[in-house]
Structure 1
Amino acid sequence: AVTVPAEDEAWPLAAFGQVADRVIFMAYDQHWEGGTPGPIAAQDWFVTQVEAALRVIPRDKLVVALGSYAYDWHGDDTDALSIEEAWLAAHDSQAPITFDPGSGNPTFAYEEDGQHHAIWMMDAATSWNQLRALKKLGIDDVALWRLGSEDPGFWADLTAFRTGGTPDLRHIASLLNTDVSGTGEILRITATPTDGQRVLTADADGIVRDERYVTLPTPYVVQRTGGANPKLLALTFDDGPDATWTPRILDVLERAHVPGTFFVIGSNALQHPALLNRIIAGGGEIGNHSYTHPNMATLGPNETMLELNATQRLVQAYTGREMRLFRAPYFGDAEPTTADELGPALAAQQAGYTVVGLHVDPNDWQRPGADSIYQQVIDQVHAGTAENSANIILLHDGGGDRSETVAALPRIIATLRAEGYRFVPASGLIGVTPAQAMPPVPDHDLWAVRTDVAVFVALAAITATVSWLFYLAISLGIARAVMMAGLAWIQA
Structure 2
Amino acid sequence: MSGRRTKRSDPRGHWFLVALAAVLTGGALFLNGYVHNVVGETHTPAADTGDSAVLDRLHAGGPVVNMSETRPQTVHVARRTVALTFDDGPDPRWTPQVLDVLRKHGATATFFVVGAHVAENPDLVRRMVAQGNEIGNHTYTHADVTTTPDWRTRLELSLTQKALAGTAGINTRLIRMPYSASPDAVGDKQFAAMRLLGAEGYLVALTDLDSKDWSRPGVDQIVRASLPPRDAGAVIMFHDAGGDRSQTVAAVDRLLSVLDKRGYTATTLTRAIGLPSAHAPASTGDRRLGEALILIQRASSAFTGSLSWILAAAGLLTLLRLALFVVFAWIHAHRARRHRGDRDAGRRRHGIARWPSPPPVTVVVPAYNEEAGIEATVRSLVATDYQGRVEVIVVDDGSTDRTAEIAASLGLPGVRVIRQPNGGKPSALNTGITQAAHDILIMVDGDTVFEPSTIGNLIQPLADPSVGAVSGNTKVGNRRGMIGRWQHIEYVIGFNLDRRAFDLLGCMATVPGAIGAFRRSALRSVGGVSLDTLAEDTDLTMAICRTGWRVVYEETARAWTEAPTSLGQLWRQRYRWCYGTLQAMWKHRGAVVERGSFGRRCLGYLTLFQVILPLLAPVVDIMAVYSLAVADPLPVVAVWVGFVTAQALSGWYALRLDHEPASALWVLPLQQFVYRQLMYLVVIQSVATAVLGVRLRWHTIRREGTFTTESMLTEVTTGR
Tell me whether 1:236 sits opposite 2:85 in the alignment. yes
1:183 Cα offset (Å): 4.9
- SS of residue in 1 equivalent to 2:120: coil
In structure 1, which of residues 376, 382, 385 is the aligned counterpart of residue 229 of structure 2? 382
SS at match of 1:392: strand
2:585: which partner in 1?
Answer: none
Kept after mapping to 2: 8 A contact 1:242/1:398: yes
Pick aligned residue for 1:185 from 63, 68, 71: 63
1:462 corresponds to: 300
Q: CA deviation at 1:481?
A: 5.6
Report matched runs for 1:66-215 at 5 Å. Answer: 177-180=55-58, 183-189=61-67
Three-state SS of the structure 2 residue aligned to 1:179 is helix
Alpha-carbon distance, 1:478 to partner: 5.3
State how 1:79-478 maps to structure 2 within 5 Å.
177-180=55-58, 183-189=61-67, 221-227=71-77, 229-335=78-184, 337-378=186-227, 381-382=228-229, 390-433=233-276, 436-441=277-282, 445-477=283-315
SS in 1 for 2:72: strand
SS in 2 for 1:263: strand
Distance, in Å, in 2 between the alignment partners of 1:191 and 1:350 is 9
Cα distance in structure 1, aligned partners of 2:324 and 2:203? 62
User: Retained in 2: the 8 A contact 1:178–1:337?
Assistant: no
SS of 2:308's equivalent? helix
Query: What is the Cα deviation at residue 232 of structure 1?
Result: 0.5
Structure 2 gap ranges (5+) = 1-48, 332-720
Q: More displaced, 368-377 or 323-332?
A: 368-377
CA distance in 1, matches of 2:217, 2:99: 22
Change (3 A) 1:284 1:478: farther
1:334 is displaced (CA, Å) by: 2.6
Shift of the alpha carbon at 1:314? 1.0
The amino acid that maps onto 1:397 is D
Query: Structure 1 stretch 466-475 or stretch 338-347: which is displaced more?
Result: 466-475
CA contact under 8 A between 1:178 and 1:338: conserved in structure 2? no
Query: Which segment is superposed worse, 368-377 or 356-365?
Result: 368-377
The answer on whether the counterparts of 1:265 and 1:290 sit within 8 Å (CA) in structure 2 is yes
Q: Describe the shift of the 1:421–1:461 C-alpha distance in structure 2 as closer, same or farther (beyond 3 A).
A: same
Distance in 2, matches of 1:399 and 1:284, equals 20
Q: Deviations over 1:88-140 (max 9, x none)?
A: xxxxxxxxxxxxxxxxxxxxxxxxxxxxxxxxxxxxxxxxxxxxxxxxxxxxx
Whichever residue aligns with residue 279 of structure 2, its letter is M
SS of the residue aligned with 2:183? coil
Instruction: Report the alpha carbon displacement of residue 333 of structure 1 after superposing the two structures with TM.
Output: 1.3
TM-fit CA distance, 1:404: 1.2
Indicate conservation of the 8 Å contact 1:324/1:353, yes or no. Answer: yes
Secondary structure, in 3 states, of the residue corresponding to 2:201? coil
**Distance between the aligned counterparts of 1:285 and 1:239, measured in 2?**
14
Task: Supply the distance in 2 between the matched residues of 1:383 and 1:287 (Cα, whole angstroms).
Answer: 28
| Aligned-residue offset at 1:432 | 2.5
Deviation at residue 452 of structure 1 after TM alignment: 3.1
Change (3 A) 1:372 1:484: farther
Higher mean displacement: 356-365 or 468-477: 468-477
The SS at the match of 1:331 is coil
1:191–1:285 distance in 2 versus 1, CA, 3 Å: closer
Length-normalised TM-score, structure 1: 0.52
Name the CA distance, whole Å, in 2 between partners of 1:439 and 1:446.
13
Counterpart amino acid of residue 264 in structure 2: Y
Q: How far is the alpha carbon of 1:288 from its aligned partner?
A: 0.3
Pairwise CA distance, 1:177: 4.1
CA spacing shift, 1:175–1:402, aligned 2, 3 Å = same
Q: Quick one: which amino acid aligns to residue 440 of structure 1?
A: P
Shift of 1:303: 1.4
String of CA shifts for 1:317-368, please: whole Å, max 9, x gaps: 2111111100000112134542211122221121111111101112111111
In 2, Cα distance between equivalents of 1:391 and 1:332: 13
Higher strand share: 1
Kindly state the Cα deviation for residue 427 of structure 1 after the two structures are TM-superposed.
0.8
- After superposition, the C-alpha distances for 1:53-107 in whole angstroms (9 at most, x for unaligned) are xxxxxxxxxxxxxxxxxxxxxxxxxxxxxxxxxxxxxxxxxxxxxxxxxxxxxxx
What is the distance in 1 between the residues matched to 2:230 and 2:118?
A: 34
Answer whether contact 1:176 1:339 (CA < 8 A) is retained. Answer: no
Larger radius of gyration: 2
Identity over aligned residues, as a percent?
32
Letter in 2 for 1:341: Q
Is the 8 Å Cα contact of residues 109 and 133 (structure 2) preserved in structure 1?
yes
Contact between 1:184 and 1:391, CA under 8 Å: does it hold in 2?
A: no
The alpha-carbon distance between structure 1 residues 307 and 483, as it changes in their structure 2 partners (threshold 3 A), is same
Alignment CA distance shift 1:384-1:454 (3 Å): same
Q: Cα deviations across residues 409-435 of structure 1 (Å, max 9, x unaligned)?
A: 2101111111111111011122224xx
SS in structure 2 at match of 1:270: helix
Deviation at 1:190, TM superposition (A): 6.4
The answer on whether the counterparts of 2:82 and 2:235 sit within 8 Å (CA) in structure 1 is: yes
Find the aligned partners of 1:231 and 1:149 in 2 and give their Cα distance. 32
Cα distance per residue 1:174-226 (max 9 Å; x no partner): 8684323875321123665xxxxxxxxxxxxxxxxxxxxxxxxxxxx433213
Count, aligned residues: 282
Q: Can you list the C-alpha shifts for 1:290-333, whole angstroms capped at 9, x where unaligned?
A: 11112111122211111111111111121111111000001121
Aligned CA distance change for structure 1 residues 149 and 306 (closer, same or farther; 3 Å): closer
Q: Structure 1: which 5+ residue stretches go unaligned?
A: 1-147, 151-173, 193-220
2: CA distance between counterparts of 1:446 and 1:295? 30
Deviations 1:141-197 (A, max 9, x none): xxxxxxx999xxxxxxxxxxxxxxxxxxxxxxx8684323875321123665xxxxx
Paired residue secondary structure (2:88): strand
How far apart, CA to CA, are the structure 2 residues paired with 1:467 and 1:417?
A: 45
Q: Please say if residues 66 and 202 of structure 2, whose CA atoms lie closer than 8 Å, have aligned partners that are also in contact.
A: no
Q: Distance in 2 between matches of 1:283 and 1:400?
A: 25
Equivalent pair of 1:182/1:224 in contact (CA under 8 Å): no
Inter-partner Cα distance in structure 2 for 1:382 and 1:175: 28
What displacement does 1:391 show?
0.9
Q: Report the Cα offset of residue 249 of structure 1.
A: 1.0
Indicate if the aligned counterparts of 2:163 and 2:293 stay in contact, CA closer than 8 A: no
- Kindly indicate whether structure 1 or structure 2 has the higher relative contact order, using CA contacts under 8 Å at least 6 residues apart: 2
CA RMSD of aligned residues (A): 2.9
Cα pair distance change 1:311/1:448, threshold 3 Å: closer
Q: Show the 5 A alignment for 1:21-36.
A: none
Change over 3 Å in CA distance of 1:469–1:339 after alignment to 2: same
Please give the TM-score of this superposition, normalised by the length of structure 2: 0.36
* Aligned residues of 1:176 and 1:338 also touching (Cα < 8 A): no
